[in-house]
Amino acid sequence: MAPIDRITISHHRLLLTPPFRAAWDGQERNHFDATIVRVFDIDGRMGIGSGDLMLGFEGHEELFAGQDPLDLERHNKVLTNIDFHYGRCWPLDIALWDLAGQIKQEPVWRLLGGTSPHVPVYASSGALHPREELAELAVGFLELGFPAMKIRFRSRESGGWHEDVKGLEAVRARVGDRLKLMVDCNQGWQMPWDTDPPWTLDEALPVARELERLGVFWMEEPLHRADLEGHKRLRDMTSVKIVGGEMTRELSSLQTMVDGGAFDIVQPDVALVGGITGLAEFGRRLRDTNTVFTPHTWTNGLGMLANLHLMAGLGAASFVEFPYDPPSWGLDRRDYTLSHPVTQKDGVVTLSEKAGLAISLDEERLAATRLD
């Protein structure tokens, strides 16, 4: 056993010109930050992770140095404790899986029990678009072979969803039923400055009725994240699938959502809760339930890649989120830390047979964007 030698963390900032206006934000994003975690064993092998800022990890490196890198369950328990006291440090779990794959000379998806490297994906837009522009975007996704597209609604803008429905109508007029459509209502969580209330059940229900009319597959985060009873009631009142859980901080809370029947589909992200270790166990438990697991992946390209390996390992999801909204959110921005972007063909990402997560960092770009 070659024990863990050290862990390094670096922070990076890509300036965005023009800025990106995320539908859930309300303020222009003039930069995109990424944190890279590297874990080394004493033989010089390196595992890489990313996806969250690793706030609160400083000072806990000694809890991992000298330990067996393959003791993933032990490391995950320590990260769970750090999460309870300080912050989300799950990118280290991702890096440890990457290192484990290199030690065992297997891709992570195969270490997790997967039999195929092919992962179906759906196109996930991030910005608000005028209706005709949205329809053009949908046509572009269809031409690229995506089977489905997620559209953003106007968050808490009073009555704004009426205009969003017109955008959905424009998309349906252009692509018909050739694309499966999903809607993210962006009611489940707020930015730090956002004090406007999310929709109530009475406000969300007429939106659901319109989505039913337009044959929308799922309705994401239609209510406040804590309103589990409201989500359950809405789920009982509509044929549209009710979806949420992407920013939930603990696996026990996700289990409560599942047990309480709040969602048809849950969306935890390995970079934000549980890591690969925790969500692999969670996902296996869901196999015997009616709840589907397909993760949120809007951290960065490396975080998305970790989620893709997990889902290939579980062999569970009909499709996984592929953040892509060109030109404002293209592969050049999402994957700027990588030497080669993660790409799809005909709605499928094919993962590498190389050991670990098969990550190749763009070291030149990382040096140019480094903050510390």
Q: And the tokens for 261?
A: 């029947």
- Across residues 39-57, what is the average pLDDT? 97
Q: pLDDT tier at 288 (50, 70, 90 boundaries)? A: confident
* CA separation, residue 159 to residues 2, 3, 163, 190, 207 (Å): 59, 57, 8, 18, 10
Answer yes or no: do 330 and 345 share one domain. Answer: yes
- Do residue 62 and residue 178 come from a single domain? no
- Is 255 in the same domain as 158? yes
Rounded (5°) CA angle 324-158-26: 40
Residue 154 has pLDDT above 90, yes or no: no
CA 77 to chain centre: 22
Say yes or no: 238 and 199 in one domain: yes
pLDDT of 64 > 80? The answer is yes
Same domain, 151 and 93: no
Q: Is residue 319 part of a domain?
A: yes
β-strand partners of 283 = none
Q: With cut-offs at 50, 70 and 90, classify the pLDDT of residue 155.
A: low
Q: CATH number, domain at 28? A: 3.30.390.10
**Quick check: 323 and 329 in contact, CB under 8 A?**
yes
Q: Quickly count: other Cβ atoms within 10 Å of residue 21's Cβ.
A: 15
Which residue matches tokens 């009909």?
318
Question: Is there a single domain that holds both residue 69 and residue 160?
Answer: no
Is 178 a member of any domain?
yes
Tell me, yes or no, whether 233 and 333 share the same domain. yes
- Do 9 and 128 sit in the same domain of this protein? no
Q: How many domains does the chain have?
A: 2
| Residue-wise pLDDT tens digits, 220-255 | 999 999 999 999 999 999 999 999 999 999 999 999
Looking only at the bridges linking them, the beta strands covering 46-50 and 29-41 are antiparallel
**Residue closest to 276 by CA, chosen among 306, 314, 245:** 306
- In which domain, by residue range, is 143 found? 111-350
DSSP string over 67-80: S-TT-HHHHHHHHH
pLDDT interval class at 316 (50, 70, 90): confident
297-309 as b/e, with b when 16 or more CB fall inside 10 Å? bbbbbbbbbbbbb
Cα(50)–Cα(193) distance, integer angstroms: 26
pLDDT at 158 over 70: no
Gap between the Cα atoms of 233 and 246, Å rounded: 20
Residue 356 lies in a domain: no
Residue 367 has what pLDDT?
98
Q: Which residue has the tokens 């009873």?
A: 229
In a domain, 355, yes or no: no
Q: Is the pTM of this model over 0.95?
A: yes
* Averaged pLDDT score across all residues of the chain: 96
Q: Compute the distance between CA of residue 211 and CA of residue 170 in angstroms, rounded to an integer.
A: 13
Which of these ranges, 18-27, 152-161, 230-239, has the smallest mean pLDDT?
152-161
Please determine, for residue 323, whether its predicted confidence score (pLDDT) is greater than 70.
yes
| pLDDT surpasses 90 at 33 | yes
The Cα 355–Cα 131 span in angstroms is 44
Q: Are residues 151 and 235 in the same domain?
A: yes
Spatial separation of the C-alpha atoms in residues 329 and 297, rounded to whole Å: 14
Q: Cα dist. 19→15, 33, 163, 201 in Å?
A: 8, 13, 24, 34
Alpha helices in 22-160 (DSSP H): 72-85, 91-104, 108-111, 131-143
**How confident is the model over 298-326, as a mean pLDDT?**
95
Residue 268 has pLDDT above 80, yes or no: yes
CB crowding 158-190: b at 16 or more within 10 Å, else e: eeebeebbebbebbbebbeeebbbbbbbbbbeb
Average of per-residue pLDDT across 146-158? 86
